Amino acid sequence: MALAARPETSPTVSIAMTGSGGSGVMTAGNMLLEAAALAGYYGLMSRTSGPQIRGGEAAALIRLAGDPIDGHDDRFDLLISIDWLNLERFADEIPLDGESIAIGDPSQGEPPAAMIGPGTKRLALPMKDLAKKIPGGRANMIALGYVASLIGLPNDAVAEAVRHTLGTEGGRVTASLAGIEAGRLAAANVPCPHKLAPSRGRGAGRWLITGNEAAGYGALKGGVRFVAAYPITPATELLEWMSPALSGLGGVLVQAEDELASINMAIGASYGGTPALTATSGPGLALMTESLGLAVAAEVPIVVVDVMRCGPSTGIPTKSEQSDLNLALYGVHGDAPHVVVAPNSVADCLATTQWAVHLAEAMQVPVVVLSDQSMGQTRMVIDPPRDEEFAGKRAVAAANGQDYRRYALTPSGVSPMAIPGAPGLMYTADGLEHNERGTPSSQAKDHIAQLDKRQRKLGSVDFGPHWAEIEGDGEIAVLTWGSCTGPVREAIARARDDGIAVKLVSLRLLSPPHPDRLAAALKGVKRALVVEQTHSGQFYRYLRAEHALAAELRAMHCPGAQPMRPGDIYRELVEWSRP
Protein backbone atom coordinates (compact mmCIF):
# COMPACT_ATOMS: atom_id res chain seq x y z
CA MET A 1 0.00 0.00 0.00
CA ALA A 2 1.33 3.43 -0.89
CA LEU A 3 0.54 4.94 2.49
CA ALA A 4 2.47 2.30 4.43
CA ALA A 5 5.70 3.23 2.65
CA ARG A 6 5.82 6.63 4.27
CA PRO A 7 7.48 7.29 7.65
CA GLU A 8 5.19 7.11 10.66
CA THR A 9 5.57 10.75 11.53
CA SER A 10 6.30 13.95 9.62
CA PRO A 11 8.49 16.90 10.50
CA THR A 12 5.64 19.19 9.44
CA VAL A 13 1.92 18.71 8.84
CA SER A 14 -0.23 21.07 6.78
CA ILE A 15 -3.96 21.27 7.38
CA ALA A 16 -6.67 23.28 5.66
CA MET A 17 -9.96 23.74 7.52
CA THR A 18 -12.61 25.16 5.25
CA GLY A 19 -16.30 25.98 5.11
CA SER A 20 -18.84 28.70 4.50
CA GLY A 21 -18.69 31.82 6.63
CA GLY A 22 -20.18 31.17 10.04
CA SER A 23 -19.19 27.51 9.99
CA GLY A 24 -16.53 28.28 12.56
CA VAL A 25 -13.42 27.11 10.73
CA MET A 26 -11.37 30.12 11.86
CA THR A 27 -12.25 29.42 15.50
CA ALA A 28 -11.45 25.74 15.10
CA GLY A 29 -8.21 26.58 13.27
CA ASN A 30 -7.10 28.98 15.98
CA MET A 31 -7.83 26.36 18.63
CA LEU A 32 -5.85 23.75 16.69
CA LEU A 33 -2.86 26.11 16.41
CA GLU A 34 -3.03 27.03 20.06
CA ALA A 35 -3.35 23.39 21.12
CA ALA A 36 -0.28 22.50 19.06
CA ALA A 37 1.58 25.47 20.54
CA LEU A 38 0.69 24.37 24.08
CA ALA A 39 1.88 20.86 23.25
CA GLY A 40 5.29 22.26 22.29
CA TYR A 41 4.98 22.54 18.52
CA TYR A 42 5.72 25.51 16.33
CA GLY A 43 3.25 26.49 13.68
CA LEU A 44 1.26 29.12 11.92
CA MET A 45 -2.22 29.79 10.66
CA SER A 46 -3.13 32.11 7.85
CA ARG A 47 -6.64 33.03 6.87
CA THR A 48 -8.12 33.29 3.47
CA SER A 49 -11.65 34.16 2.54
CA GLY A 50 -13.90 35.02 -0.33
CA PRO A 51 -14.97 38.57 -1.13
CA GLN A 52 -18.25 38.41 0.78
CA ILE A 53 -18.46 40.44 3.99
CA ARG A 54 -20.18 37.62 5.87
CA GLY A 55 -21.15 34.14 4.88
CA GLY A 56 -18.52 33.66 2.21
CA GLU A 57 -16.19 30.71 1.97
CA ALA A 58 -13.35 30.76 4.46
CA ALA A 59 -10.21 28.76 5.03
CA ALA A 60 -7.85 28.42 7.97
CA LEU A 61 -4.50 27.28 6.56
CA ILE A 62 -2.38 25.70 9.26
CA ARG A 63 1.09 24.24 9.31
CA LEU A 64 2.54 22.59 12.42
CA ALA A 65 6.10 21.44 13.04
CA GLY A 66 8.57 20.44 15.72
CA ASP A 67 11.03 23.16 14.67
CA PRO A 68 10.41 26.84 13.99
CA ILE A 69 8.86 27.48 10.57
CA ASP A 70 7.91 30.75 8.95
CA GLY A 71 5.85 29.85 5.94
CA HIS A 72 3.54 27.37 4.29
CA ASP A 73 4.51 24.18 2.50
CA ASP A 74 3.85 23.58 -1.20
CA ARG A 75 0.87 21.39 -0.52
CA PHE A 76 -1.55 20.26 2.15
CA ASP A 77 -1.69 16.94 3.95
CA LEU A 78 -5.24 17.27 5.23
CA LEU A 79 -8.25 19.16 4.04
CA ILE A 80 -11.34 19.07 6.22
CA SER A 81 -14.38 20.96 5.06
CA ILE A 82 -17.64 21.55 6.89
CA ASP A 83 -19.33 22.10 3.51
CA TRP A 84 -18.19 22.67 -0.08
CA LEU A 85 -20.00 25.87 -1.08
CA ASN A 86 -17.77 27.93 -3.45
CA LEU A 87 -14.69 26.13 -2.20
CA GLU A 88 -13.37 25.61 -5.74
CA ARG A 89 -12.19 29.24 -5.39
CA PHE A 90 -9.50 27.96 -3.02
CA ALA A 91 -8.21 25.30 -5.44
CA ASP A 92 -4.99 27.24 -6.13
CA GLU A 93 -4.37 28.06 -2.50
CA ILE A 94 -4.90 24.54 -1.15
CA PRO A 95 -3.02 22.17 -3.45
CA LEU A 96 -3.78 18.51 -2.74
CA ASP A 97 -1.95 15.52 -4.19
CA GLY A 98 -1.82 11.75 -3.94
CA GLU A 99 -0.53 11.92 -0.38
CA SER A 100 -3.30 14.23 0.75
CA ILE A 101 -6.51 13.30 2.52
CA ALA A 102 -9.75 15.24 1.95
CA ILE A 103 -12.37 14.89 4.65
CA GLY A 104 -15.95 15.92 3.98
CA ASP A 105 -19.44 15.55 5.40
CA PRO A 106 -21.47 13.16 3.21
CA SER A 107 -24.59 15.26 3.86
CA GLN A 108 -22.91 18.18 2.06
CA GLY A 109 -22.39 16.33 -1.22
CA GLU A 110 -19.23 15.88 -3.21
CA PRO A 111 -16.15 18.13 -3.04
CA PRO A 112 -15.60 20.30 -6.14
CA ALA A 113 -13.53 18.36 -8.67
CA ALA A 114 -11.08 21.28 -9.02
CA MET A 115 -10.01 20.88 -5.41
CA ILE A 116 -9.17 17.24 -5.36
CA GLY A 117 -5.75 16.21 -6.63
CA PRO A 118 -4.99 12.98 -8.51
CA GLY A 119 -5.10 10.15 -6.03
CA THR A 120 -6.21 12.29 -3.08
CA LYS A 121 -7.67 9.97 -0.48
CA ARG A 122 -11.23 10.74 0.61
CA LEU A 123 -12.73 10.25 4.05
CA ALA A 124 -16.33 10.75 5.13
CA LEU A 125 -17.14 12.33 8.49
CA PRO A 126 -20.81 13.12 9.26
CA MET A 127 -19.94 16.32 11.15
CA LYS A 128 -23.43 17.83 11.12
CA ASP A 129 -25.10 14.62 12.29
CA LEU A 130 -22.57 14.07 15.06
CA ALA A 131 -22.98 17.69 16.18
CA LYS A 132 -26.77 17.35 16.31
CA LYS A 133 -26.48 14.66 18.96
CA ILE A 134 -24.75 17.10 21.33
CA PRO A 135 -26.76 19.91 22.97
CA GLY A 136 -25.25 23.09 21.56
CA GLY A 137 -22.89 20.98 19.44
CA ARG A 138 -21.23 22.42 16.34
CA ALA A 139 -19.68 20.75 13.32
CA ASN A 140 -16.44 22.75 13.59
CA MET A 141 -15.65 21.13 16.95
CA ILE A 142 -16.26 17.65 15.49
CA ALA A 143 -13.75 18.61 12.77
CA LEU A 144 -11.26 19.89 15.34
CA GLY A 145 -11.42 16.70 17.42
CA TYR A 146 -11.10 14.53 14.33
CA VAL A 147 -8.08 16.36 12.91
CA ALA A 148 -6.36 16.67 16.29
CA SER A 149 -6.68 12.93 16.71
CA LEU A 150 -5.45 12.14 13.16
CA ILE A 151 -2.27 14.17 13.59
CA GLY A 152 -1.69 12.98 17.14
CA LEU A 153 -2.22 16.10 19.25
CA PRO A 154 -2.71 15.31 22.95
CA ASN A 155 -6.25 15.68 24.35
CA ASP A 156 -5.32 17.93 27.24
CA ALA A 157 -3.69 20.55 24.97
CA VAL A 158 -6.82 20.73 22.82
CA ALA A 159 -9.02 21.06 25.90
CA GLU A 160 -6.81 23.80 27.29
CA ALA A 161 -6.95 25.73 24.02
CA VAL A 162 -10.76 25.45 24.01
CA ARG A 163 -11.02 26.69 27.58
CA HIS A 164 -8.64 29.53 26.87
CA THR A 165 -10.60 30.61 23.79
CA LEU A 166 -14.10 30.30 25.24
CA GLY A 167 -13.18 31.44 28.75
CA THR A 168 -16.01 31.35 31.23
CA GLU A 169 -18.74 30.40 28.79
CA GLY A 170 -19.34 27.11 30.62
CA GLY A 171 -22.11 25.82 28.35
CA ARG A 172 -20.10 26.40 25.22
CA VAL A 173 -16.99 24.83 26.73
CA THR A 174 -18.93 21.68 27.65
CA ALA A 175 -20.57 21.47 24.20
CA SER A 176 -17.24 22.08 22.46
CA LEU A 177 -15.37 19.48 24.47
CA ALA A 178 -18.17 16.97 23.80
CA GLY A 179 -17.92 17.75 20.08
CA ILE A 180 -14.17 17.32 20.10
CA GLU A 181 -14.54 13.99 21.90
CA ALA A 182 -17.07 12.81 19.29
CA GLY A 183 -14.61 13.80 16.56
CA ARG A 184 -11.82 11.90 18.29
CA LEU A 185 -13.94 8.77 18.60
CA ALA A 186 -14.78 8.96 14.89
CA ALA A 187 -11.07 9.11 14.08
CA ALA A 188 -10.17 6.24 16.37
CA ASN A 189 -9.45 3.58 13.78
CA VAL A 190 -8.65 5.80 10.81
CA PRO A 191 -5.08 5.33 9.59
CA CYS A 192 -3.31 8.63 8.94
CA PRO A 193 0.28 8.94 7.70
CA HIS A 194 0.37 12.64 8.59
CA LYS A 195 1.24 12.42 12.26
CA LEU A 196 3.38 14.94 14.08
CA ALA A 197 6.61 13.63 15.56
CA PRO A 198 6.53 13.81 19.37
CA SER A 199 7.25 17.36 20.40
CA ARG A 200 10.62 18.04 21.90
CA GLY A 201 9.95 21.45 23.37
CA ARG A 202 7.57 23.08 25.77
CA GLY A 203 5.03 25.59 24.65
CA ALA A 204 4.98 27.61 27.86
CA GLY A 205 6.64 30.97 27.38
CA ARG A 206 6.40 30.99 23.59
CA TRP A 207 4.28 33.64 21.92
CA LEU A 208 1.26 33.30 19.68
CA ILE A 209 1.03 36.48 17.63
CA THR A 210 0.04 37.86 14.22
CA GLY A 211 2.26 40.13 12.15
CA ASN A 212 -0.23 42.95 12.61
CA GLU A 213 -0.15 42.57 16.39
CA ALA A 214 3.63 42.30 16.33
CA ALA A 215 3.93 45.50 14.29
CA GLY A 216 1.59 47.27 16.70
CA TYR A 217 3.51 46.05 19.72
CA GLY A 218 6.83 46.99 18.12
CA ALA A 219 5.53 50.48 17.48
CA LEU A 220 4.58 50.84 21.13
CA LYS A 221 7.98 49.55 22.20
CA GLY A 222 9.54 52.15 19.94
CA GLY A 223 7.60 54.83 21.82
CA VAL A 224 4.56 55.51 19.60
CA ARG A 225 1.77 56.98 21.70
CA PHE A 226 -0.44 58.50 19.00
CA VAL A 227 -2.09 56.73 16.08
CA ALA A 228 -4.58 58.11 13.60
CA ALA A 229 -5.97 55.81 10.96
CA TYR A 230 -8.78 54.87 8.65
CA PRO A 231 -9.95 51.25 8.47
CA ILE A 232 -8.62 49.25 5.52
CA THR A 233 -8.10 45.56 4.85
CA PRO A 234 -5.67 44.00 5.78
CA ALA A 235 -4.34 46.64 8.21
CA THR A 236 -7.48 47.00 10.33
CA GLU A 237 -6.51 44.38 12.92
CA LEU A 238 -3.27 46.22 13.57
CA LEU A 239 -5.33 49.30 14.48
CA GLU A 240 -7.92 47.34 16.44
CA TRP A 241 -5.15 45.79 18.51
CA MET A 242 -3.42 49.12 19.07
CA SER A 243 -6.54 51.05 20.11
CA PRO A 244 -7.02 49.58 23.63
CA ALA A 245 -3.27 48.98 23.99
CA LEU A 246 -2.59 52.68 23.43
CA SER A 247 -5.30 53.70 25.90
CA GLY A 248 -3.68 51.44 28.48
CA LEU A 249 -0.33 53.11 27.94
CA GLY A 250 -1.74 56.63 28.19
CA GLY A 251 -1.74 57.19 24.44
CA VAL A 252 -4.58 57.47 21.97
CA LEU A 253 -5.84 56.20 18.64
CA VAL A 254 -8.06 58.54 16.64
CA GLN A 255 -10.24 57.16 13.86
CA ALA A 256 -9.78 59.67 11.06
CA GLU A 257 -12.26 60.53 8.29
CA ASP A 258 -9.85 59.37 5.57
CA GLU A 259 -6.18 58.59 4.99
CA LEU A 260 -5.41 62.23 4.14
CA ALA A 261 -6.52 63.09 7.65
CA SER A 262 -4.79 60.06 9.21
CA ILE A 263 -1.32 61.02 8.14
CA ASN A 264 -1.84 64.72 8.86
CA MET A 265 -3.15 63.97 12.34
CA ALA A 266 -0.05 61.83 12.93
CA ILE A 267 2.12 64.68 11.67
CA GLY A 268 0.32 67.11 14.00
CA ALA A 269 0.84 64.86 17.02
CA SER A 270 4.49 64.30 16.19
CA TYR A 271 5.03 68.03 15.71
CA GLY A 272 3.66 68.34 19.25
CA GLY A 273 6.33 65.92 20.51
CA THR A 274 4.45 62.61 20.58
CA PRO A 275 5.90 59.79 18.44
CA ALA A 276 3.14 58.99 15.97
CA LEU A 277 2.11 56.34 13.46
CA THR A 278 -0.54 55.54 10.93
CA ALA A 279 -1.22 52.18 9.30
CA THR A 280 -2.91 51.48 6.01
CA SER A 281 -2.71 49.45 2.81
CA GLY A 282 -1.82 50.42 -0.78
CA PRO A 283 -4.80 52.64 -1.63
CA GLY A 284 -4.34 54.52 1.65
CA LEU A 285 -0.60 54.90 1.13
CA ALA A 286 -1.33 56.39 -2.29
CA LEU A 287 -3.54 59.03 -0.64
CA MET A 288 -0.86 59.76 1.95
CA THR A 289 2.02 60.40 -0.40
CA GLU A 290 1.52 64.17 -0.64
CA SER A 291 1.83 64.46 3.12
CA LEU A 292 4.81 62.13 3.23
CA GLY A 293 6.46 64.95 1.29
CA LEU A 294 5.26 67.40 3.94
CA ALA A 295 6.84 65.28 6.69
CA VAL A 296 10.09 65.26 4.68
CA ALA A 297 10.10 69.04 4.13
CA ALA A 298 8.88 70.05 7.59
CA GLU A 299 11.13 67.34 9.13
CA VAL A 300 8.45 65.72 11.24
CA PRO A 301 9.12 62.10 12.23
CA ILE A 302 6.27 59.69 11.49
CA VAL A 303 5.90 55.98 10.77
CA VAL A 304 3.51 54.71 8.10
CA VAL A 305 2.87 50.97 8.10
CA ASP A 306 1.58 49.65 4.77
CA VAL A 307 0.14 46.15 5.09
CA MET A 308 0.28 45.42 1.37
CA ARG A 309 -2.38 43.65 -0.66
CA CYS A 310 -2.88 42.98 -4.37
CA GLY A 311 -3.15 46.18 -6.38
CA PRO A 312 -3.60 48.42 -8.26
CA SER A 313 -6.80 50.12 -7.16
CA THR A 314 -8.99 47.99 -4.93
CA GLY A 315 -7.24 44.95 -6.40
CA ILE A 316 -7.68 41.92 -4.13
CA PRO A 317 -7.92 43.34 -0.63
CA THR A 318 -7.66 40.01 1.17
CA LYS A 319 -4.58 38.64 -0.61
CA SER A 320 -0.92 39.44 -0.28
CA GLU A 321 1.46 41.10 -2.75
CA GLN A 322 4.66 43.18 -2.55
CA SER A 323 3.67 45.58 -5.27
CA ASP A 324 3.65 48.82 -3.23
CA LEU A 325 7.45 48.84 -3.28
CA ASN A 326 7.68 51.39 -6.09
CA LEU A 327 5.11 53.65 -4.45
CA ALA A 328 6.99 53.56 -1.14
CA LEU A 329 10.36 54.16 -2.77
CA TYR A 330 9.47 56.67 -5.45
CA GLY A 331 5.91 57.88 -4.78
CA VAL A 332 6.76 61.16 -3.09
CA HIS A 333 6.90 64.27 -5.28
CA GLY A 334 10.09 66.34 -5.32
CA ASP A 335 13.46 65.12 -4.08
CA ALA A 336 12.25 63.71 -0.80
CA PRO A 337 14.73 61.61 1.17
CA HIS A 338 12.86 59.21 3.42
CA VAL A 339 13.24 55.69 4.75
CA VAL A 340 11.59 52.45 3.63
CA VAL A 341 12.02 49.29 5.68
CA ALA A 342 10.39 45.86 5.57
CA PRO A 343 10.00 43.13 8.14
CA ASN A 344 10.75 39.65 6.82
CA SER A 345 8.65 37.43 9.09
CA VAL A 346 5.69 37.60 11.44
CA ALA A 347 8.08 37.85 14.40
CA ASP A 348 10.22 40.44 12.66
CA CYS A 349 7.20 42.76 12.28
CA LEU A 350 7.86 43.58 15.94
CA ALA A 351 11.55 44.43 15.75
CA THR A 352 11.39 46.17 12.39
CA THR A 353 8.45 48.41 13.30
CA GLN A 354 10.21 49.31 16.54
CA TRP A 355 13.33 50.06 14.50
CA ALA A 356 11.27 52.22 12.15
CA VAL A 357 10.13 54.40 15.06
CA HIS A 358 13.72 54.86 16.19
CA LEU A 359 14.90 55.72 12.68
CA ALA A 360 12.07 58.22 12.20
CA GLU A 361 12.74 59.91 15.51
CA ALA A 362 16.51 59.95 15.13
CA MET A 363 16.47 61.46 11.63
CA GLN A 364 13.19 63.41 11.83
CA VAL A 365 11.94 61.74 8.67
CA PRO A 366 8.94 59.69 7.62
CA VAL A 367 9.58 55.94 7.60
CA VAL A 368 7.41 53.58 5.57
CA VAL A 369 7.18 50.02 6.87
CA LEU A 370 6.18 47.56 4.15
CA SER A 371 4.43 44.63 5.77
CA ASP A 372 1.89 42.56 3.85
CA GLN A 373 -1.31 40.58 4.23
CA SER A 374 0.49 37.27 4.51
CA MET A 375 2.52 38.41 7.51
CA GLY A 376 -0.10 40.74 8.95
CA GLN A 377 -2.92 38.23 9.12
CA THR A 378 -0.90 35.10 9.90
CA ARG A 379 -0.84 33.93 13.50
CA MET A 380 2.37 32.20 14.41
CA VAL A 381 4.07 30.43 17.29
CA ILE A 382 7.35 32.24 17.95
CA ASP A 383 10.04 32.16 20.59
CA PRO A 384 9.71 35.13 22.93
CA PRO A 385 11.34 38.03 21.08
CA ARG A 386 14.61 39.50 22.27
CA ASP A 387 14.56 42.98 23.72
CA GLU A 388 16.03 45.07 20.93
CA GLU A 389 17.76 48.28 21.87
CA PHE A 390 17.73 50.45 18.80
CA ALA A 391 19.75 53.61 19.15
CA GLY A 392 18.27 56.92 18.17
CA LYS A 393 16.06 59.46 19.87
CA ARG A 394 14.62 62.72 18.70
CA ALA A 395 17.00 65.65 19.17
CA VAL A 396 14.99 68.19 21.16
CA ALA A 397 16.04 71.83 21.43
CA ALA A 398 16.66 73.23 24.89
CA ALA A 399 14.15 75.90 25.94
CA ASN A 400 15.11 79.58 25.87
CA GLY A 401 18.01 78.96 23.51
CA GLN A 402 19.56 81.95 21.84
CA ASP A 403 18.84 82.56 18.18
CA TYR A 404 16.94 79.32 17.63
CA ARG A 405 17.07 78.01 14.07
CA ARG A 406 14.75 75.04 13.60
CA TYR A 407 16.30 74.00 10.30
CA ALA A 408 19.92 74.79 11.21
CA LEU A 409 22.47 73.42 8.75
CA THR A 410 24.24 70.99 11.08
CA PRO A 411 26.98 68.58 9.95
CA SER A 412 24.66 65.57 10.38
CA GLY A 413 21.70 67.40 8.86
CA VAL A 414 19.67 66.68 11.99
CA SER A 415 18.75 69.88 13.83
CA PRO A 416 17.24 69.98 17.30
CA MET A 417 13.46 70.24 17.20
CA ALA A 418 11.55 72.63 19.43
CA ILE A 419 8.46 71.17 21.03
CA PRO A 420 5.47 73.54 21.40
CA GLY A 421 5.26 74.71 24.97
CA ALA A 422 9.00 75.40 25.15
CA PRO A 423 9.53 79.15 25.66
CA GLY A 424 11.86 81.10 23.43
CA LEU A 425 11.88 78.64 20.52
CA MET A 426 8.71 79.52 18.63
CA TYR A 427 8.99 78.66 14.96
CA THR A 428 6.76 77.65 12.09
CA ALA A 429 7.22 74.15 10.68
CA ASP A 430 6.81 74.57 6.97
CA GLY A 431 6.19 72.52 3.87
CA LEU A 432 7.17 75.60 1.88
CA GLU A 433 10.89 75.70 1.24
CA HIS A 434 12.46 77.73 3.99
CA ASN A 435 15.67 79.05 5.40
CA GLU A 436 17.32 77.82 8.59
CA ARG A 437 14.80 79.70 10.73
CA GLY A 438 11.83 78.19 8.94
CA THR A 439 10.94 81.44 7.17
CA PRO A 440 9.56 80.67 3.70
CA SER A 441 12.15 81.23 0.99
CA SER A 442 12.07 80.82 -2.79
CA GLN A 443 15.80 81.39 -3.18
CA ALA A 444 17.91 78.72 -4.84
CA LYS A 445 20.58 78.86 -2.14
CA ASP A 446 18.09 78.02 0.60
CA HIS A 447 16.50 75.28 -1.51
CA ILE A 448 19.88 73.67 -2.19
CA ALA A 449 21.03 74.01 1.41
CA GLN A 450 17.85 72.41 2.77
CA LEU A 451 17.81 69.65 0.13
CA ASP A 452 21.41 68.84 1.03
CA LYS A 453 20.60 68.92 4.73
CA ARG A 454 17.64 66.56 4.37
CA GLN A 455 19.68 64.17 2.22
CA ARG A 456 22.58 64.32 4.69
CA LYS A 457 20.34 63.14 7.51
CA LEU A 458 19.95 59.70 5.98
CA GLY A 459 23.69 59.23 6.24
CA SER A 460 23.78 60.40 9.84
CA VAL A 461 22.54 57.22 11.46
CA ASP A 462 24.24 53.84 11.68
CA PHE A 463 21.60 51.46 10.39
CA GLY A 464 23.46 48.64 12.15
CA PRO A 465 23.17 44.90 11.55
CA HIS A 466 19.37 45.02 11.24
CA TRP A 467 19.68 46.32 7.66
CA ALA A 468 19.53 42.74 6.26
CA GLU A 469 19.27 39.09 7.21
CA ILE A 470 22.25 37.19 5.82
CA GLU A 471 22.40 33.42 6.25
CA GLY A 472 24.70 30.70 4.95
CA ASP A 473 27.29 30.79 2.23
CA GLY A 474 27.63 29.76 -1.35
CA GLU A 475 28.37 30.90 -4.86
CA ILE A 476 24.65 31.12 -5.40
CA ALA A 477 22.55 33.55 -3.40
CA VAL A 478 18.92 34.46 -3.18
CA LEU A 479 18.22 38.16 -2.82
CA THR A 480 14.79 38.80 -1.43
CA TRP A 481 12.73 40.86 0.99
CA GLY A 482 9.63 40.80 3.17
CA SER A 483 7.36 37.80 3.37
CA CYS A 484 9.17 36.00 0.52
CA THR A 485 12.00 35.37 2.99
CA GLY A 486 10.22 32.45 4.69
CA PRO A 487 9.63 30.39 1.53
CA VAL A 488 13.12 31.31 0.29
CA ARG A 489 14.68 30.04 3.51
CA GLU A 490 12.83 26.75 3.16
CA ALA A 491 13.83 26.41 -0.50
CA ILE A 492 17.47 27.00 0.46
CA ALA A 493 17.25 24.31 3.15
CA ARG A 494 15.92 21.83 0.58
CA ALA A 495 18.71 22.78 -1.84
CA ARG A 496 21.22 22.27 0.95
CA ASP A 497 19.86 18.74 1.45
CA ASP A 498 20.70 18.19 -2.22
CA GLY A 499 24.24 19.45 -1.64
CA ILE A 500 23.69 22.89 -3.16
CA ALA A 501 24.99 25.71 -0.97
CA VAL A 502 22.93 28.87 -1.26
CA LYS A 503 23.31 32.13 0.61
CA LEU A 504 20.26 34.09 1.77
CA VAL A 505 20.28 37.88 1.68
CA SER A 506 17.00 39.43 2.78
CA LEU A 507 16.95 43.23 2.85
CA ARG A 508 15.10 45.03 5.61
CA LEU A 509 16.48 48.44 4.71
CA LEU A 510 15.16 49.25 1.25
CA SER A 511 15.75 52.98 1.24
CA PRO A 512 18.19 54.61 1.49
CA PRO A 513 20.00 51.91 -0.50
CA HIS A 514 23.39 50.78 0.76
CA PRO A 515 25.20 49.44 -2.32
CA ASP A 516 28.46 48.93 -0.43
CA ARG A 517 26.84 46.79 2.21
CA LEU A 518 25.04 44.71 -0.38
CA ALA A 519 28.21 44.28 -2.43
CA ALA A 520 30.01 43.07 0.72
CA ALA A 521 27.17 40.67 1.53
CA LEU A 522 27.39 39.23 -2.00
CA LYS A 523 31.18 38.92 -2.07
CA GLY A 524 32.10 35.66 -3.78
CA VAL A 525 28.56 35.14 -5.03
CA LYS A 526 28.49 34.39 -8.76
CA ARG A 527 24.77 34.13 -9.31
CA ALA A 528 21.93 35.69 -7.42
CA LEU A 529 18.27 34.82 -7.79
CA VAL A 530 16.02 37.79 -7.01
CA VAL A 531 12.74 36.60 -5.50
CA GLU A 532 9.74 38.83 -4.96
CA GLN A 533 5.96 38.85 -5.16
CA THR A 534 5.27 41.41 -7.87
CA HIS A 535 4.15 41.09 -11.47
CA SER A 536 6.68 43.52 -12.91
CA GLY A 537 9.80 42.70 -10.91
CA GLN A 538 9.87 45.94 -8.93
CA PHE A 539 12.52 44.73 -6.48
CA TYR A 540 14.74 43.42 -9.29
CA ARG A 541 14.54 46.74 -11.12
CA TYR A 542 15.26 48.62 -7.89
CA LEU A 543 18.35 46.47 -7.25
CA ARG A 544 19.55 47.08 -10.80
CA ALA A 545 18.95 50.82 -10.53
CA GLU A 546 20.64 51.43 -7.21
CA HIS A 547 23.39 48.81 -6.99
CA ALA A 548 26.36 47.78 -9.11
CA LEU A 549 26.13 44.04 -8.61
CA ALA A 550 28.93 41.77 -9.79
CA ALA A 551 26.82 38.61 -9.66
CA GLU A 552 24.75 37.41 -12.57
CA LEU A 553 21.13 38.14 -11.66
CA ARG A 554 18.00 36.22 -12.45
CA ALA A 555 14.56 37.57 -11.60
CA MET A 556 11.84 35.39 -10.16
CA HIS A 557 8.69 37.34 -9.60
CA CYS A 558 5.06 36.37 -9.49
CA PRO A 559 2.08 38.50 -8.54
CA GLY A 560 0.06 37.98 -5.41
CA ALA A 561 -3.11 36.08 -4.56
CA GLN A 562 -1.05 32.91 -5.05
CA PRO A 563 1.30 32.45 -2.10
CA MET A 564 5.02 32.10 -2.85
CA ARG A 565 5.81 28.37 -2.58
CA PRO A 566 9.20 27.10 -1.39
CA GLY A 567 9.02 24.32 -4.00
CA ASP A 568 8.91 26.77 -6.92
CA ILE A 569 11.95 28.64 -5.58
CA TYR A 570 13.76 25.36 -4.90
CA ARG A 571 13.18 24.14 -8.46
CA GLU A 572 14.49 27.43 -9.84
CA LEU A 573 17.61 27.12 -7.68
CA VAL A 574 18.27 23.53 -8.66
CA GLU A 575 17.76 24.27 -12.33
CA TRP A 576 20.05 27.31 -12.18
CA SER A 577 22.78 25.55 -10.18
CA ARG A 578 23.32 23.00 -12.96
CA PRO A 579 26.59 23.76 -14.72
Partner 1 sequence: MNAPVTTLPSAKDFKSDTKPVWCPGCGDHGVLTSLARALADLTCRREEVAIVSGIGCSSRMPAYTNCYGFHGVHGRALAVATGLKVSRPDLTVIATGGDGDGYSIGGNHFLHACRRNVDLTYIVMDNHVYGMTKGQSSPTTEPDWDNALTPGGTGLRPFQPLVIALASGANFVGRAFSGDVIGTAHIIAEAVKSPGFSFVEILSPCITFRPEQRDWKELARPSPVPVTNDAARAARRIMTDDGFNIGILYAGNRKPYQPEIGRAQRSLQDLAREFAL
Binding site for partner 1 (CB under 8 A): 34, 37-38, 203-209, 213, 217, 220-221, 225-226, 228, 245, 247-252, 254, 256-258, 260-262, 264-274, 276, 290-291, 293-294, 298, 381, 384, 418, 420-432, 438-440
What is residue 368's DSSP assignment?
E
Nearest to 27 by CA among 156, 176, 235: 176
| Least distance from partner 1 to the Cβ atom of residue 247, Å | 7
Closest approach, Cβ 154 to partner 1, in A, equals: 15
Contacts of residue 140, Cβ cutoff 8 Å, sequence gap at least 6 = 17, 19, 23, 24, 25, 27, 28, 82, 127, 179
CB of 406 to partner 1, least distance (A): 10
DSSP state of 4: G
- Write the single-letter amino acid at 57: E
Q: What is the DSSP string of 466-532?
A: GGEEEE---SEEEEEEGGGHHHHHHHHHHHHHTT--EEEEEESEEES--HHHHHHHTTT--EEEEEE
Closer by beta carbon to partner 1, 271 or else 481: 271
Question: Which is it for the CA torsion 145, 150, 154, 158, positive or negative?
Answer: negative
Which lies closer to partner 1 via its Cβ, residue 218 or residue 563?
218
Q: How far is the CB of 268 from partner 1 (least distance, A)?
A: 3
Specify the residue, 124 or 398, whose C-beta has the smaller distance to partner 1: 398
- The residue (of 107 and 247) whose beta carbon lies closer to partner 1 is 247
Residues paired with 503 in a beta bridge: 477
Question: 248 or 579, CB closer to partner 1?
Answer: 248
Residue 317 phi, psi (nearest 5): -60, -25
Decide whether 5 or 204 has the Cβ nearer to partner 1: 204
Q: What is the largest CA-CA distance in the chain?
A: 87
Q: How far is the CB of 424 from partner 1 (least distance, A)?
A: 7
Minimum distance between the CB of residue 524 and partner 1, rounded to whole angstroms? 40
Q: Least distance (Å) from partner 1 to the CB of residue 168?
A: 17
207 C-beta neighbours (distance < 10 Å), count? 17
- What would the DSSP string read from start to end of 217-261? HHHHHHT--EEEE---TTTHHHHHHHHHHHHHTT-EEEE-SSHHH
**CA quadruple 529, 533, 537, 538: dihedral positive or negative?**
negative
Q: Which is nearer to partner 1, 52 or 247 (CB)?
A: 247
- C-beta of 245: minimal distance to partner 1 in Å? 5
Nearer to partner 1 among residue 431 and residue 559 (C-beta): 431
74: phi then psi, degrees, rounded to nearest 5: -80, -20
